[in-house]
Structure 1
Amino acid sequence: MSENLPDHGACAHNGIMKHIPNILTLSNLFCGALALIFILHAPEYIAEFNGAEYTIINPAPVYWASGLVVLAGIIDFFDGFAARLLKVSGPLGKELDSLADVVSFGVVPGMMLFRLLQSAYMQMPDVYDVAVFNLAPALLVPCFAAYRLAVFNLDTRQSEHFIGVPTPAVGFLVASFPMIMLYNPFGLAAWLENIWVLYGIIAALCYLMVSSHPMISLKFKNLTVKDNWPRFLLVVLTLVSIPVLGYAAVPFVFAVYVVLSLLVPPKSQHG
């Protein structure tokens, strides 16, 4: 008769295991929320230069936010991997994942761009304060990210490739900006101090997230070169560019990803 009794230890173990993907997803959200704290609490101080006072933002906490976005992206990869491995994928996990992503890869990049715009305006001569109206376009990034994630949850065409640029890619790109400002590879920091460049980046990212262009996914259905050469090329260029370009590798890979997806639109794989 004991053979028919339920194994409560096994049931409890299985119950815990099925929540691992959701715990990872919530860890992603935790990283995003913590990144927001670092960005919003970046201290400001008054500096005097040539007899004029300027408000300067201490960028150090924003660098920590960049690291947290990367960590959130790694966790975002593993929560889906864990769900497939444990065979516990479901609608709850899908919705929870999107809610976490809109914070980590939507709101956080938006606030980073908000800070970058504020800093860029403060570099302009005779500027002592910046109207919120001038900085508000940065908040379009989380709005378009939320729209994209809502569409993604309803779109059944995105099982093998993406329609529009995925939000983690946007998050990684914007998270590289504070590090580029710090290390200034190839003089790129000057471009991120230009308000019109930043406005252009915001407009481009918003468009790419909700566009109808098929974009490459790194989901390999098989390992044939014929079916996957754009993916292999993207991986190789990423690995080569990191030691060569440093933090500039992120915008380089992002640009290659977009251009490659537009020139060689991904097709559904079979077999």
Structure 2
Amino acid sequence: MKQLPNILTLGNLFCGALAIIFVLYAPETLTEYNGNDYKVISPAPVYWASILVVLAGVFDLFDGMVARWLKVSSPLGKELDSLADVVSFGVVPGMILFRLLRSAYMQMPDVFDVSLVNLAPALLVPCFAAYRLAVFNLDTRQSENFIGMPTPAVGLMVASFPLIMLYDSFGMAHYLQNIWVLYGIIAVLCYLMVSPHPMISMKFKKLKAKENIPRFIILAIVVISIPVLKFAAVPFIFASYVILSLVMPPKISQA
């Protein structure tokens, strides 16, 4: 039983690795441009990658809970969790953003002159995620709340984009096909992961209602927004979480 949390963590990693395969594997079709044939990649497999990131988030949620419940938390489990997170919530979101950027450039008239350098900023997300996770493992002040944005939140945020584009209920797909919007999102996410701002943790370690008010507000936003906004609720919840963490910053214990 003591290996159950590690098995759940490996489930997280398995989902992340499978999501990478879905992003990489995409049926190619031929299209004609100026008398020449070009290969165009279908974005459909990216939707499945998004679902796998969500499933990885479920595994990530329960591995820590089970470890605390069984009282088998260990340094090995902590390191294994970070290794899984950097794949599922760092590499996979970076690849999704890479594909979204490529798709955005496909809308432009000079699409066939686009260099990989234009798409490379998407790979900053896994780099900043890895740095954030390394800092988290060494920072003893983040036992109850966070300093900087947790990588699972970033992963789930990016994973919602392909699904928002698939079920475009609020016209958000148009903005997710704009290269400058995507560059801005990449910059904001990278900054938030390594920022010095305290962020609220959703762990209810204390029973006092006053100390859990921000958590109750976030839960209320989640419950209300999901039925109304569907997949578009994810960016709304993410933005609300950031704003609430800035307005009502949690206390961070001293090292």
TM-score by length of 2: 0.95
Aligned with 2:80 (options 96, 119, 134): 96
Query: Which runs of 5 or more structure 2 residues have no equivalent in the other structure?
Result: none
Counterpart contact for 2:12–2:88, Cα < 8 Å:
yes
- Name the SS for the 2:140 alignment partner: coil
- Give the CA RMSD over aligned residues: 1.6
- Cα gap change, 1:52/1:197 in structure 2, threshold over 3 Å: closer, same or farther? farther
| Residue in structure 1 matched with residue 101 of structure 2 by the alignment | 117
Distance in 1 of aligned mates of 2:33 and 2:247? 49
Percent of aligned pairs with the same residue?
74
Counterpart contact for 1:109–1:171, Cα < 8 Å:
yes
- Name the SS for the 2:249 alignment partner: coil
Aligned with 1:71 (options 51, 55, 73): 55
Q: CA deviation at 1:59?
A: 1.5
| Residue in structure 1 matched with residue 25 of structure 2 by the alignment | 41
Please give the per-residue CA displacement for 1:187-231, whole angstroms capped at 9, x wherever unaligned.
000001000000000000000000010000001123333111111
Distance in 2 of aligned mates of 1:53 and 1:228? 59
- Name the aligned partner's letter for residue 146 of structure 1: A
- Cα gap change, 1:156/1:46 in structure 2, threshold over 3 Å: closer, same or farther? same
Counterpart contact for 1:55–1:122, Cα < 8 Å:
no
- Name the aligned partner's letter for residue 267 of structure 1: K
- Name the SS for the 2:40 alignment partner: strand
| Residue in structure 2 matched with residue 210 of structure 1 by the alignment | 194
Please give the per-residue CA displacement for 1:70-91, whole angstroms capped at 9, x wherever unaligned.
0000000110011111111010
TM-score by length of 1: 0.90
Q: CA deviation at 1:40?
A: 0.6
- Name the SS for the 1:189 alignment partner: coil
Deviates more, 1:110-119 or 1:220-229: 220-229
Moved over 6 A (4+): 49-52
- The 5 A counterparts of 1:133-152 are 133-152=117-136
Q: CA deviation at 1:184?
A: 1.1
Aligned with 2:237 (options 234, 241, 253): 253
Counterpart contact for 1:54–1:122, Cα < 8 Å:
no
- Cα gap change, 1:157/1:250 in structure 2, threshold over 3 Å: closer, same or farther? same
Distance in 1 of aligned mates of 2:39 and 2:188? 29
Between Structure 1 and Structure 2, whose CA radius of gyration is higher? 1
Please give the per-residue CA displacement for 1:24-47, whole angstroms capped at 9, x wherever unaligned.
111110000000000011223222
- Name the aligned partner's letter for residue 130 of structure 1: V
Aligned with 2:10 (options 15, 23, 26): 26
Distance in 1 of aligned mates of 2:16 and 2:25? 14
Q: CA deviation at 1:51?
A: 6.9
- Name the aligned partner's letter for residue 207 of structure 1: Y
| Residue in structure 2 matched with residue 227 of structure 1 by the alignment | 211
- Name the SS for the 1:138 alignment partner: helix
Query: Which runs of 5 or more structure 1 residues have no equivalent in the other structure?
Result: 1-16
Please give the per-residue CA displacement for 1:120-167, whole angstroms capped at 9, x wherever unaligned.
001112322531111000000000000000000000011110000000
Deviates more, 1:96-105 or 1:223-232: 223-232
- Cα gap change, 1:130/1:50 in structure 2, threshold over 3 Å: closer, same or farther? closer
Distance in 2 of aligned mates of 1:105 and 1:259? 22
Q: Paired residues, what number?
A: 253
- Name the aligned partner's letter for residue 143 of structure 1: C
